[in-house]
Structure 1
Amino acid sequence: MGLLNKGIAPARTLTRARILLAADERKTDAQIAASLHVHPATVERTRHRFVEGRAACALHEKPRPGGRPKLDPKQQAFLVALACSDAPSGRGHWTLQLLADRLVELGVVETISDETVRRALKKHTEVVATQAVVHRVGGSGLCLAHGGRAGSVC
Protein backbone atom coordinates (compact mmCIF):
# COMPACT_ATOMS: atom_id res chain seq x y z
CA MET A 1 0.00 0.00 0.00
CA GLY A 2 3.00 2.29 0.51
CA LEU A 3 3.47 2.50 -3.25
CA LEU A 4 0.02 4.03 -3.70
CA ASN A 5 0.44 6.51 -0.85
CA LYS A 6 3.71 8.01 -2.10
CA GLY A 7 2.28 9.15 -5.43
CA ILE A 8 5.60 9.20 -7.25
CA ALA A 9 5.42 5.92 -9.16
CA PRO A 10 4.55 5.77 -12.88
CA ALA A 11 0.83 5.58 -13.66
CA ARG A 12 1.06 2.06 -15.10
CA THR A 13 2.78 0.80 -11.95
CA LEU A 14 0.07 2.37 -9.79
CA THR A 15 -2.67 0.82 -11.93
CA ARG A 16 -1.06 -2.61 -11.61
CA ALA A 17 -0.81 -2.15 -7.83
CA ARG A 18 -4.51 -1.27 -7.72
CA ILE A 19 -5.29 -4.37 -9.81
CA LEU A 20 -3.42 -6.59 -7.36
CA LEU A 21 -5.13 -4.98 -4.35
CA ALA A 22 -8.54 -5.48 -5.93
CA ALA A 23 -7.66 -9.07 -6.80
CA ASP A 24 -6.67 -9.63 -3.18
CA GLU A 25 -10.17 -8.47 -2.22
CA ARG A 26 -11.53 -11.36 -4.35
CA LYS A 27 -13.00 -9.18 -7.09
CA THR A 28 -13.43 -10.69 -10.56
CA ASP A 29 -11.38 -9.57 -13.56
CA ALA A 30 -14.46 -7.89 -15.04
CA GLN A 31 -15.16 -5.96 -11.83
CA ILE A 32 -11.54 -4.82 -11.55
CA ALA A 33 -11.39 -3.81 -15.20
CA ALA A 34 -14.60 -1.78 -14.91
CA SER A 35 -13.60 -0.04 -11.69
CA LEU A 36 -10.08 0.87 -12.91
CA HIS A 37 -11.05 1.60 -16.53
CA VAL A 38 -8.63 -0.93 -17.99
CA HIS A 39 -9.13 -3.81 -20.39
CA PRO A 40 -9.87 -7.19 -18.80
CA ALA A 41 -6.79 -8.58 -20.56
CA THR A 42 -4.66 -6.11 -18.56
CA VAL A 43 -6.09 -7.49 -15.34
CA GLU A 44 -5.51 -11.05 -16.53
CA ARG A 45 -1.88 -10.36 -17.54
CA THR A 46 -1.14 -8.61 -14.25
CA ARG A 47 -2.57 -11.51 -12.23
CA HIS A 48 -0.62 -13.99 -14.35
CA ARG A 49 2.67 -12.10 -13.86
CA PHE A 50 2.03 -11.98 -10.12
CA VAL A 51 1.52 -15.75 -9.96
CA GLU A 52 4.62 -16.40 -12.08
CA GLY A 53 7.09 -14.02 -10.50
CA ARG A 54 5.65 -12.32 -7.45
CA ALA A 55 4.89 -8.63 -7.02
CA ALA A 56 7.97 -7.08 -8.63
CA CYS A 57 7.29 -8.83 -11.96
CA ALA A 58 3.62 -7.89 -11.85
CA LEU A 59 4.22 -4.23 -11.03
CA HIS A 60 7.14 -3.31 -13.28
CA GLU A 61 7.59 -3.73 -17.02
CA LYS A 62 10.57 -5.40 -18.61
CA PRO A 63 12.76 -2.96 -20.55
CA ARG A 64 11.58 -2.50 -24.11
CA PRO A 65 14.12 -3.09 -26.85
CA GLY A 66 13.19 -0.11 -29.02
CA GLY A 67 13.86 0.14 -32.71
CA ARG A 68 17.14 -0.62 -34.42
CA PRO A 69 19.14 2.55 -35.13
CA LYS A 70 18.93 3.70 -38.74
CA LEU A 71 22.61 4.65 -38.80
CA ASP A 72 25.43 2.78 -37.09
CA PRO A 73 28.29 4.82 -35.58
CA LYS A 74 30.41 4.51 -38.72
CA GLN A 75 27.55 5.77 -40.91
CA GLN A 76 26.90 8.63 -38.47
CA ALA A 77 30.55 9.62 -38.63
CA PHE A 78 30.37 9.54 -42.44
CA LEU A 79 27.26 11.75 -42.34
CA VAL A 80 28.96 14.32 -40.10
CA ALA A 81 32.05 14.30 -42.31
CA LEU A 82 29.87 14.76 -45.37
CA ALA A 83 27.99 17.62 -43.70
CA CYS A 84 31.32 19.25 -42.84
CA SER A 85 32.53 19.04 -46.43
CA ASP A 86 31.93 21.70 -49.07
CA ALA A 87 28.39 21.96 -50.38
CA PRO A 88 27.68 20.59 -53.86
CA SER A 89 28.50 22.88 -56.77
CA GLY A 90 25.82 25.45 -57.37
CA ARG A 91 24.71 25.27 -53.72
CA GLY A 92 25.66 27.63 -50.95
CA HIS A 93 25.01 25.09 -48.22
CA TRP A 94 23.96 21.51 -47.53
CA THR A 95 20.28 20.85 -46.90
CA LEU A 96 19.05 17.82 -45.03
CA GLN A 97 17.50 16.38 -48.18
CA LEU A 98 20.74 16.85 -50.12
CA LEU A 99 22.65 15.03 -47.38
CA ALA A 100 20.11 12.20 -47.37
CA ASP A 101 20.23 11.90 -51.15
CA ARG A 102 24.06 11.89 -51.15
CA LEU A 103 24.20 9.12 -48.51
CA VAL A 104 21.99 6.95 -50.72
CA GLU A 105 23.91 7.92 -53.86
CA LEU A 106 27.24 6.94 -52.25
CA GLY A 107 25.82 3.63 -51.03
CA VAL A 108 26.27 4.42 -47.35
CA VAL A 109 22.62 3.49 -46.75
CA GLU A 110 19.90 1.98 -48.89
CA THR A 111 17.29 4.58 -47.94
CA ILE A 112 17.17 7.42 -45.42
CA SER A 113 14.85 10.34 -44.76
CA ASP A 114 15.78 13.93 -44.16
CA GLU A 115 14.26 13.58 -40.67
CA THR A 116 16.67 10.76 -39.82
CA VAL A 117 19.53 12.93 -41.06
CA ARG A 118 18.28 15.80 -38.87
CA ARG A 119 18.14 13.57 -35.78
CA ALA A 120 21.60 12.16 -36.44
CA LEU A 121 23.09 15.64 -36.91
CA LYS A 122 21.29 16.90 -33.83
CA LYS A 123 23.26 14.34 -31.80
CA HIS A 124 26.44 15.95 -33.12
CA THR A 125 25.39 19.60 -32.85
CA GLU A 126 28.76 20.87 -31.59
CA VAL A 127 30.63 19.63 -34.65
CA VAL A 128 27.95 20.69 -37.12
CA ALA A 129 27.33 24.10 -35.53
CA THR A 130 31.01 25.03 -35.38
CA GLN A 131 31.50 24.09 -39.01
CA ALA A 132 28.32 25.98 -40.08
CA VAL A 133 27.72 23.32 -42.68
CA VAL A 134 23.94 23.03 -42.75
CA HIS A 135 21.82 26.05 -43.53
CA ARG A 136 20.41 27.44 -40.30
CA VAL A 137 17.00 29.09 -40.24
CA GLY A 138 16.78 32.03 -37.85
CA GLY A 139 19.89 30.84 -36.06
CA SER A 140 18.10 27.97 -34.30
CA GLY A 141 17.00 25.39 -36.86
CA LEU A 142 17.98 23.44 -39.92
CA CYS A 143 16.61 24.11 -43.36
CA LEU A 144 14.94 21.30 -45.30
CA ALA A 145 15.23 21.08 -49.06
CA HIS A 146 11.77 22.62 -49.44
CA GLY A 147 12.75 25.55 -47.21
CA GLY A 148 10.86 24.47 -44.09
CA ARG A 149 12.33 24.19 -40.62
CA ALA A 150 13.61 20.86 -39.40
CA GLY A 151 13.96 21.66 -35.71
CA SER A 152 16.34 23.03 -33.15
CA VAL A 153 20.07 22.53 -33.60
CA CYS A 154 21.23 23.86 -30.24
Structure 2
Amino acid sequence: MSIEPLSGQRRVRITDRHTKLDFAEELRCILEEDYPQATKVVLVTDNLNTHGLHALYEAFEPEHAGRLARRLEWHFTPEHASWLNIAEIELSALSTQCLGGRIASRKVLEDKIAIWEQKRNARQVRIDWQFRSENARIKLRRLYPRYKPV
Protein backbone atom coordinates (compact mmCIF):
# COMPACT_ATOMS: atom_id res chain seq x y z
CA MET A 1 0.00 0.00 0.00
CA SER A 2 1.26 3.43 -0.85
CA ILE A 3 -0.73 6.54 -0.07
CA GLU A 4 -0.49 10.26 -0.51
CA PRO A 5 -2.37 11.45 2.58
CA LEU A 6 -2.84 15.04 1.43
CA SER A 7 -4.09 14.30 -2.09
CA GLY A 8 -6.21 11.33 -1.06
CA GLN A 9 -4.64 8.99 -3.61
CA ARG A 10 -3.56 5.46 -2.81
CA ARG A 11 -2.21 2.44 -4.66
CA VAL A 12 -2.70 -1.15 -3.55
CA ARG A 13 -0.57 -3.85 -5.09
CA ILE A 14 -1.17 -7.47 -4.13
CA THR A 15 1.74 -9.85 -3.57
CA ASP A 16 1.84 -13.40 -2.31
CA ARG A 17 4.12 -12.46 0.58
CA HIS A 18 5.64 -9.37 2.16
CA THR A 19 9.34 -9.88 1.58
CA LYS A 20 12.11 -7.33 1.13
CA LEU A 21 12.07 -8.16 -2.59
CA ASP A 22 8.35 -7.38 -2.75
CA PHE A 23 9.03 -4.12 -0.91
CA ALA A 24 11.86 -3.22 -3.30
CA GLU A 25 9.56 -3.86 -6.25
CA GLU A 26 6.92 -1.60 -4.67
CA LEU A 27 9.51 1.16 -4.33
CA ARG A 28 10.53 0.66 -7.96
CA CYS A 29 6.89 0.93 -9.06
CA ILE A 30 6.38 4.10 -7.03
CA LEU A 31 9.52 5.73 -8.42
CA GLU A 32 9.48 4.51 -12.02
CA GLU A 33 5.78 4.03 -12.79
CA ASP A 34 3.78 6.25 -10.45
CA TYR A 35 6.19 9.21 -10.16
CA PRO A 36 8.79 8.92 -12.94
CA GLN A 37 9.29 12.70 -13.13
CA ALA A 38 9.73 13.27 -9.38
CA THR A 39 13.26 14.11 -8.32
CA LYS A 40 12.52 13.24 -4.68
CA VAL A 41 9.82 11.05 -3.13
CA VAL A 42 9.22 11.32 0.61
CA LEU A 43 8.73 7.86 2.05
CA VAL A 44 7.44 7.13 5.55
CA THR A 45 7.66 3.52 6.66
CA ASP A 46 7.68 1.55 9.86
CA ASN A 47 10.77 -0.29 11.08
CA LEU A 48 9.87 -3.71 9.71
CA ASN A 49 13.06 -5.58 8.83
CA THR A 50 12.07 -5.72 5.15
CA HIS A 51 11.70 -1.92 4.96
CA GLY A 52 15.16 -0.65 4.30
CA LEU A 53 17.60 0.55 1.70
CA HIS A 54 19.17 -2.90 1.68
CA ALA A 55 16.05 -4.25 -0.05
CA LEU A 56 16.82 -2.20 -3.17
CA TYR A 57 20.38 -3.50 -3.34
CA GLU A 58 19.27 -7.09 -2.89
CA ALA A 59 16.60 -6.81 -5.58
CA PHE A 60 18.36 -4.78 -8.27
CA GLU A 61 21.78 -4.25 -9.79
CA PRO A 62 23.82 -1.72 -7.76
CA GLU A 63 23.53 1.09 -10.34
CA HIS A 64 19.76 0.70 -10.59
CA ALA A 65 19.37 0.45 -6.81
CA GLY A 66 21.51 3.56 -6.35
CA ARG A 67 19.41 5.56 -8.83
CA LEU A 68 16.26 4.57 -6.96
CA ALA A 69 17.78 5.21 -3.52
CA ARG A 70 18.94 8.73 -4.43
CA ARG A 71 15.35 9.73 -5.21
CA LEU A 72 14.04 8.68 -1.78
CA GLU A 73 13.84 10.85 1.31
CA TRP A 74 13.30 8.18 3.95
CA HIS A 75 11.61 8.60 7.34
CA PHE A 76 10.81 5.84 9.81
CA THR A 77 8.02 5.87 12.36
CA PRO A 78 9.22 5.29 15.94
CA GLU A 79 9.69 1.67 16.99
CA HIS A 80 6.58 0.16 18.63
CA ALA A 81 4.46 2.89 17.05
CA SER A 82 3.30 1.43 13.74
CA TRP A 83 -0.07 3.02 14.49
CA LEU A 84 1.63 6.25 13.42
CA ASN A 85 2.16 4.83 9.94
CA ILE A 86 -0.37 6.37 7.58
CA ALA A 87 -0.36 3.25 5.38
CA GLU A 88 -1.40 1.18 8.43
CA ILE A 89 -4.37 3.51 8.91
CA GLU A 90 -5.34 3.04 5.28
CA LEU A 91 -4.88 -0.74 5.48
CA SER A 92 -7.28 -0.73 8.42
CA ALA A 93 -9.84 1.12 6.29
CA LEU A 94 -9.30 -1.38 3.47
CA SER A 95 -9.81 -4.27 5.87
CA THR A 96 -13.02 -2.96 7.42
CA GLN A 97 -14.58 -1.52 4.26
CA CYS A 98 -13.61 -4.13 1.70
CA LEU A 99 -12.31 -7.39 3.07
CA GLY A 100 -15.02 -8.61 5.42
CA GLY A 101 -15.79 -12.30 5.11
CA ARG A 102 -14.18 -15.09 3.15
CA ILE A 103 -12.71 -14.25 -0.24
CA ALA A 104 -12.95 -17.14 -2.68
CA SER A 105 -9.90 -16.51 -4.86
CA ARG A 106 -7.05 -14.15 -5.61
CA LYS A 107 -9.01 -12.83 -8.63
CA VAL A 108 -11.97 -11.94 -6.43
CA LEU A 109 -9.58 -10.27 -3.97
CA GLU A 110 -7.93 -8.26 -6.76
CA ASP A 111 -11.31 -7.19 -8.16
CA LYS A 112 -12.68 -6.13 -4.76
CA ILE A 113 -9.57 -4.16 -3.91
CA ALA A 114 -9.46 -2.48 -7.34
CA ILE A 115 -13.06 -1.29 -6.94
CA TRP A 116 -12.40 -0.07 -3.38
CA GLU A 117 -9.22 1.73 -4.47
CA GLN A 118 -10.95 3.39 -7.43
CA LYS A 119 -13.87 4.63 -5.32
CA ARG A 120 -11.61 5.92 -2.55
CA ASN A 121 -9.32 7.68 -5.02
CA ALA A 122 -12.28 9.20 -6.88
CA ARG A 123 -13.57 10.66 -3.61
CA GLN A 124 -10.00 11.71 -2.73
CA VAL A 125 -10.40 10.36 0.79
CA ARG A 126 -7.66 11.97 2.84
CA ILE A 127 -6.23 10.83 6.12
CA ASP A 128 -6.63 13.39 8.87
CA TRP A 129 -3.47 12.47 10.74
CA GLN A 130 -3.74 14.41 13.98
CA PHE A 131 -0.67 13.22 15.85
CA ARG A 132 1.57 16.21 16.57
CA SER A 133 5.07 16.38 18.00
CA GLU A 134 3.78 18.16 21.11
CA ASN A 135 1.81 14.98 21.88
CA ALA A 136 4.86 12.75 21.57
CA ARG A 137 6.01 13.06 25.18
CA ILE A 138 2.54 12.07 26.35
CA LYS A 139 1.75 9.24 23.91
CA LEU A 140 5.31 7.89 23.71
CA ARG A 141 6.45 8.64 27.26
CA ARG A 142 8.03 5.22 27.70
CA LEU A 143 10.50 6.08 24.91
CA TYR A 144 11.76 9.24 26.58
CA PRO A 145 14.40 9.20 29.33
CA ARG A 146 13.27 9.87 32.89
CA TYR A 147 15.18 12.33 34.96
CA LYS A 148 15.06 12.34 38.72
CA PRO A 149 15.48 15.65 40.54
CA VAL A 150 18.86 16.02 42.20
> Structures share a fold, TM > 0.5?
no
Higher radius of gyration, 1 or 2:
1
Specify which structure has the bigger relative contact order, considering alpha-carbon pairs within 8 angstroms and separated by 6 or more residues.
2
Instruction: Give the TM-score of the pair, scaled to structure 1.
Output: 0.23
The structure whose residues are more often helix, as a share, is 1
Instruction: Give the TM-score of the pair, scaled to structure 2.
Output: 0.24
